[in-house]
A and B are shown apart, each in its own frame.
Chain A
Amino acid sequence: MEPSISIKNLALSFGNLNVLKDLNLEVGQGEFLVLLGSSGCGKSTLLNCIAGLLDVTDGQIFIGGNNVTWEEPSKRGIGMVFQSYALYPQMTVAGNLSFGLKNAGLPKAEIEERVNRAAKILQIEPLLNRKPAALSGGQRQRAAIGRALVRDAQVFLFDEPLSNLDAKLRADLRVEIKQLHQQLSNTMIYVTHDQIEAMTLADRIAIMRGGLILQLASPNEIYNRPANKYVAEFIGSPTMNFFDGEIDAGAGTFNSQGQSFTLAGYAFEAGSAPTGPAWFGIRPEHMVSGAEADSAPVRMQAKVELVEPLGSDTLARVAANGHTLWVRLDGQISIAAGDELAIGFDPARANIFDKTTEDRL
């Protein structure tokens, strides 16, 4: 099937500053793509380029098979939702939804029908005659989505739409956006710096850094097989534990600070283990403790330094063989700072990265 959005060799620079570099991206019909990265990585810039709010320096953008590189934003067949909602404050919700359509010269009946349909989908019918100032954060968000909805756009662009909301509301609206996507099956591109939003919403995540896409894959793949050390550190909380050391391909072991442990079970990208300096990463939740640790392929004796009970689980910072590691433990475990703790893990769940390129091995 033809991709819904196709970006070819896109570049954008402001003077000497290259914000986007030779970027290629294809988004399938009805796909939910999340652009994820820390601030300044170019994710919002990319979204603005797709929307036509920024003129690109090089490359092409296709939406629905049409080359829209030079097209006006309003003629690209997109709807957009902004972080600040950007609702027109002196118009009612209905006015906000219909203003663009009126301007495009649509017949009155059709405008009314579209507004009502969008209001029904978003359940904001009772709010249509209110002004944005009289709405709660979540309601404003829905009105902003409504404005995109009435445009009958094939593609929805979201620019950090939940960042201005408190944690509880953010979780609720996340679910709503996901439901909306299931209901409408439009193509959606969603920019965020929040990894939970990215993991929960996305069909695929594009992790960006310095104007480049570091990895474009499903949330599962990103979590389990990060393409490089940056992605591995960016996803997951607490962040992945790293051992600095060397792979001994002959012995099939990883040597770090005098300790040596087996790499049996780890699937190397190249099929077999290369020798050389590397980072060995293991997520806190992939570490086991106590009796389970005894049967783990790699075992260590650790001393608990700090405990953070979260209820559902417990985070512990431990010192083992001169490493500081975070371990995610059962929520009901009773440990305290100073306790001795046996920990272990299975190298099959690890992530190994080249020391210099930081790419996955």
Chain B
Amino acid sequence: MAAARAPARWHKNISAKIAAIPMITTALVVFIGGTAWTVLYSFTSSKLLPKEKFVGLAQYDRLWSSSKWLISIENLAIYGFFSLIFSLLIGFVLAALLDQKIRFEDTFRTILLYPFALSFIVTGLAWQWILNPDFGIQHVVRSMGFENFDFDPLYNPDIVIYGILIAGLWQGTGLIMCLMLAGLRGIDEDIWKAAKIDGIPMWKTYIFIVIPMMRGIFITAIVLIASGIIKVYDLVVAQTGGGPGIASEVPAKYVYDSMFLSQNLGQGFAASTMMLVTVAIIVVPWAYLEFGGKRRG
């Protein structure tokens, strides 16, 4: 009868455990190990190669006194703020328009979403061309007789980040629109009927009833946009290369440049750790609300 005993615990589900080795390795080695390693080495004076020479917060002091980093942060804040506002606004308005039982809905949706299939590199290069002051919009408007028309965001340090914002919104709003449309479609049609019988105008129904009902979708959209904002890198590289000068630098580019161009690993680690902290500030409260709440409920 001894042979009929349950097998030892480690043996249970052994195939599943073996199959999960890549996942476990990724989770432990890359995600946890890699992150811990980077944070740890952000306290070292690593230059060309990582060195275990700890210098406390020296890298962070340097980082926060570097004008390139400060400009990066400022750009990220401006880009992030407007990107969030406009993505949500445009995405929702477009979704609401598409939700009016219109004809050619599929065609409109296909057009509004196609930029999302394109890479940031393609997006950046396309808009670099359109915003080119010698050939693009500025040139065309000037040649129509408005000689004093100025529109050269990519060559004007004061507004270059808005030039990038235009391209970023063009690429990303389609996704938000799709999300919002799915959210709108998920709303019980009887709610609309009830609001109609109550005599509530359409815009009020959207603002006071429908949008509050779409809270979950909005949160998803915000998290999605926010994590996209922090990652913004390719778009800047393609569209401006960080220029003119350092006017359109962003943190992700600062990290890359420090690590791979200026052989200043410690700075790269410190900057990427700052990015991690920023994400944590956004994600942790959200995760707490979303999942912590569910567990309690």
Contact = CB atoms under 8 A, between A and B. Distances in A.
Q: Are A and B close enough to touch in the complex, i.e. CB under 8 Å?
A: yes
Interface of A: 48, 51-53, 72-75, 78-80, 82-90, 99-100, 103-104, 147, 151, 159
Given A84-B190, A86-B191, A79 B212 contact: no
20 contacts: A72-B199, A73-B193, A73-B196, A73-B197, A73-B199, A75-B199, A78-B197, A80-B197, A82-B194, A83-B190, A84-B190, A85-B190, A86-B190, A86-B191, A88-B191, A89-B213, A99-B198, A103-B199, A147-B198, A151-B197
Query: In this complex, which of B193, B195, B212 has the most chain A Cβ atoms within 10 angstroms of its Cβ?
Result: B193
B194 A104 contact: no
A241 B99 CA distance: 50
Interface in B209-236: 209, 212-213
Contacts of A75: 199
Interface residues of B, number: 17
A86 B188 contact: yes
B17 interface: no
Nearest to A144: B194
A103 B204 contact: yes
Nearest to A97: B198
Given A84-B188, A90-B213, A103-B204, A51 B198 contact: no
Contacts of B190: 82-86, 159
A74 B198 contact: yes
Nearest to A53: B193
Contact of B200 (A85, A90, A103): A103
Interface of B: 188, 190-191, 193-201, 204, 208-209, 212-213
A192 to B, nearest CB: 16
A155 B117 CA distance: 53
B194 A147 contact: yes
B199 to A, nearest CB: 3
Query: In this complex, which of B195, B201, B213 has the most chain A Cβ atoms within 10 angstroms of its Cβ?
Result: B195
Nearest to B213: A89
Contacts of A80: 193-194, 197
Given A89-B213, A103-B198, A104-B199, A51 B193 contact: yes
Contacts of A48: 193
Given A82-B193, A86-B191, A159-B190, 10 more contacts: A52-B196, A53-B193, A72-B196, A74-B200, A78-B197, A86-B193, A99-B198, A103-B198, A103-B201, A147-B194
A48 B196 CA distance: 12
A74 B193 contact: no
Nearest to B212: A90
B213 A100 contact: no
A79 B193 CA distance: 11
A151 B208 CA distance: 20
- Among all A-B residue pairs, the 7 with the closest Cβ atoms: A74-B199, A100-B198, A86-B190, A82-B190, A86-B194, A90-B212, A73-B196
